[in-house]
Structure 1
Amino acid sequence: MSLIQPFAGLRPAPGRAAEVAAPPYDVMNAAEARRMVEGRPWSFLHISRPEVDLPEGTDPYAPAVYARARENLERMLAEGLLLRDPAPRYYVYRLTMGAHRQIGLVASASVAAYDAERIKKHEFTRPVKEDDRVRQIEALNAQTGPVFLVYRATPAIDDLLTEVGATPAEVDLTAADGVRHELWTLADTARIAHLTAAFEALDALYIADGHHRAAAASRVAAARRASGTASGDGFLSVIFPHDQMQILDYNRVVRDLHGLDVDAFMNRLSVAFAIEGSPVPVRPEKPAEFGMYLAGHWYRLTLDPGRIPHDDPVARLDVSLLQDNLIGPILGIKDPRRDERIDFVGGIRGLEGLVKRVDAGEMAVAFSLYPTGMRDLMAVADAGEVMPPKSTWFEPKLADGLVSHILD
């Protein structure tokens, strides 16, 4: 199988996309999902978060949840809200968030390429999350949440996507968060062949977001091959050029100072960091620079350059530098994946999200970070390494429901 293939997508009927489209299933909690479906009987959340239609407190991994997802999908099909395209094709998808724009391709990415690490990972996955996606795919016989992939920008692909994006979109909607979603179908056989060949010429694709969805697709495909069912060898993906990605900061808040008072903590910091008070909130302007909010005051921390291991793609990341020089040795948090004393705040919430949690007494100290670069992510993946937890926060988010992938 080629790196990518066209597929016959399942999509909202003409004029119904705004009723169907929903945020990704994993960016809200159950209570938020319930509020989002109020007055929206055709929201895709009824498929991606079907517990919204079951009693509050329902275990989201209960068999009844996956059964309800299937029922809701069948209802939307029966009512004509979702229609399947008659033949395989690609789709062009553009996101606009304020002044930021990115345009990519919706395609079926090769499970074999993922298994062979030609589609590269940079995160660990959790079994419970993988199992959830496997059950969802099997219940629906479809992939409804796209894996967010990235390719190294290349004119053979970029120019064609830009050309398509200059024409009127088939779907054009602005979501409640202000993000504009546009979608074009690409059924022309010559263009399809051009894109398939252009992607096949690439060395690799990179997972930006959706590691659990990709891993689940691989497991489903392996199970179906073992049972003699020749389906499920591709997974739903949206693929963007690396130079159009917008990665926001992913900041940290810590519950206490690990037994230190403020003066002792600051003294410990001064061993590895230059510390400068700031009258305004600190948004770091370069790597190895951090903002810190402590006891009602902002500080700018600059790490001693001699502590930066430039030849190690993981250890040189800002999230690693903060962990290895401050959060671990000073605050005593050795495993940020599991330690409940630390939490993570996406940059979309702004620096005020950090101040709020410290001023409320919930947390003792907050740190703002310079965003991880796309080239850093690809360098980690190319090295076969894994990034620390909560290293990247991509914006804008893809919508669920605009295109789904039925497993033939």
Structure 2
Amino acid sequence: MPKIKPFKGVRAAADKAAHLISRTYQDYGKKELKAQLKYNPYSFLQILNPGYKFNQEISGIERFSLVRNRYLEFKEEGYLIQDEQPAFYLYENIDPHHSYTGIIAGTSTKDYQDNKIKKHEDTLSFKEVLFKDYLKSAGFNAEPVLLTYKDRPDINQMIDQVKKRQPDTFFSTTDFNSHKIWAITDPQMIESLEKQFQEIPELYIADGHHRSASSSLLSQEMDPDQESYHYFMSLLIAENQLNIYEFNRQIKDLNGLTKEEFLIQLDQNFRIQNRGIELYKPSKKHHFSMYLDGEFYSLYLRKGLYEISNPLQDLDTQMLYDLILKPILGIQDLRTDQRIKYSYGKHDIMHIKERVDSKEFAVGFGLFPATVEQMKSIADADLRMPPKSTFIRPKLPSGLIIYEF
């Protein structure tokens, strides 16, 4: 059964917390990143982008060691403070539309290797190695892996009990998110949580496949007695709290086909309805929206023509690949083909229209979101989703709680 452990987290000083945490590094455009580095000396981005101090781009192992230096400087300045006692951390995130609560803990790399922590996405080996080297050089991990489990009343009861007291940390950020943290240090409560999670048959990775794979690689390089390397930081959250959104697709060309030829080939597997200028979004699985040459279309899978023999084939992103992207548009490798791009968001259907109207792309496809049940059934069958099949919230900020090796 999955094993979790408390750890001595490193957290921002109370008066710096709202300024210190950041979104994941790759989420920033160049202009926004530059502004954050210029005007916010407390931002965790100062640690992740150590070359800014020297006004130059630094990469590779040299960057990793400088990240370590900036991190130690933040601790020396008192911006970051390590807790004196090992703890589990109850974390609540409240945004304008949802509230999420989960437990931040160390989770076992052996459980990951033994498939007690199940995966639904493939990882790229070069990224695994790169992040493994980063973790080893930097000596800390600042972004938890998002793990999910079937809702349990006993864990919910303990969470409710902890939330009756005032949080240790409570602050809001300019994206209209509120963040609350309670450190759980009571030995009896820690023991109870460990036992409760040991009764759960398996955990599922919702987000963070590369981070967990890299942590597993690192653990295999380290001695067994170096215990901290054999765990990785995770946010454990009940699956009924997850929100899964769709990733849509845009393709740069029609693979040499005219619009009419393309529609005729689509007609082999789909009932096609022209929706004109209606901003059409699919309303259930196996339905797709398409924007082509100034018009929206609904695509309904023709019954009986596509054999579904495993959970992966029931997934819309796989179906789109099997029936359209590969055979008609010639997209072979979804990870490397530069003709396909991915996007998501509440208003993404308008974004698709704008990108196609600008001639940047020839066609765009809107999908219906996958479900937690689909994600779990694919992981249980030891299958892997196509890349960019799910966009899952909550998204945890960097630097909220830091796990030191």
Residue 47 of structure 2 corresponds to which residue in structure 1? 47
Measured at CA, do residues 31 and 122 of structure 1 come closer, stay the same or move farther in structure 2, by a change above 3 Å?
farther
Residue 276 of structure 1 corresponds to which residue in structure 2? 273
- 1:315-354 correspondence to structure 2 within 5 Å: 315-348=313-346, 350-354=348-352
Residue 285 of structure 1 corresponds to which residue in structure 2? 283
- Name which of 235, 240, 244 aligns with 2:241: 244
- Name which of 124, 136, 139 aligns with 1:138: 136
- Name which of 228, 232, 242 aligns with 2:229: 232
- Give SS of 1:214's match: helix
Measured at CA, do residues 243 and 54 of structure 1 come closer, stay the same or move farther in structure 2, by a change above 3 Å?
farther
Equivalent-residue separation in structure 1 for 2:46 and 2:133 (angstroms): 16
Once the two structures are TM-superposed, the CA of residue 230 in structure 1 deviates from its matched residue by 4.5
Residue 265 of structure 1 corresponds to which residue in structure 2? 262
Equivalent-residue separation in structure 2 for 1:45 and 1:302 (angstroms): 45
- Give SS of 2:27's match: coil
Moved more, 348-357 or 149-158: 348-357
- Name which of 253, 259, 262 aligns with 2:250: 253
Once the two structures are TM-superposed, the CA of residue 310 in structure 1 deviates from its matched residue by 4.2
Runs of 5+ consecutive residues of structure 2 not aligned to the other structure? none
The one-character-per-residue Cα deviations of 1:117-162 (angstroms, maximum 9, x if unpaired) are 1111111212332223222211222222211111111112123223
The one-character-per-residue Cα deviations of 1:80-101 (angstroms, maximum 9, x if unpaired) are 1111111111001122232222
- Give SS of 2:121's match: coil
Residue 369 of structure 2 corresponds to which residue in structure 1? 371
Moved more, 395-404 or 347-356: 347-356
Equivalent-residue separation in structure 2 for 1:394 and 1:53 (angstroms): 34
Equivalent-residue separation in structure 2 for 1:318 and 1:406 (angstroms): 39
Once the two structures are TM-superposed, the CA of residue 289 in structure 1 deviates from its matched residue by 0.7
Q: Alignment length, in residue pairs?
A: 404
Residue 71 of structure 2 corresponds to which residue in structure 1? 73
**Would you say the 8 A contact 2:119–2:379 is kept in 1?**
yes
- 1:85-104 correspondence to structure 2 within 5 Å: 85-104=83-102
Equivalent-residue separation in structure 1 for 2:150 and 2:198 (angstroms): 13
Measured at CA, do residues 223 and 29 of structure 1 come closer, stay the same or move farther in structure 2, by a change above 3 Å?
farther
Equivalent-residue separation in structure 2 for 1:168 and 1:300 (angstroms): 50
Equivalent-residue separation in structure 2 for 1:45 and 1:202 (angstroms): 36
Q: TM-score, normalised by structure 1?
A: 0.93
**Would you say the 8 A contact 1:179–1:396 is kept in 2?**
no
Residue 8 of structure 1 corresponds to which residue in structure 2? 8
Residue 362 of structure 1 corresponds to which residue in structure 2? 360
1:266 corresponds to which letter in structure 2? L
Measured at CA, do residues 29 and 67 of structure 1 come closer, stay the same or move farther in structure 2, by a change above 3 Å?
farther
- Name which of 381, 384, 387 aligns with 2:382: 384
Give me the identity figure in percent.
32
Q: Cα RMSD between the aligned structures?
A: 1.9
Runs of 5+ consecutive residues of structure 1 not aligned to the other structure? none
Q: TM-score, normalised by structure 2?
A: 0.94
2:37 corresponds to which letter in structure 1? V
Once the two structures are TM-superposed, the CA of residue 64 in structure 1 deviates from its matched residue by 2.2
- Give SS of 1:347's match: coil
Equivalent-residue separation in structure 1 for 2:346 and 2:55 (angstroms): 31
Equivalent-residue separation in structure 1 for 2:130 and 2:174 (angstroms): 27
The one-character-per-residue Cα deviations of 1:168-206 (angstroms, maximum 9, x if unpaired) are 333233333333322211112222111111111111111
**Would you say the 8 A contact 1:309–1:316 is kept in 2?**
no
Equivalent-residue separation in structure 1 for 2:160 and 2:130 (angstroms): 36
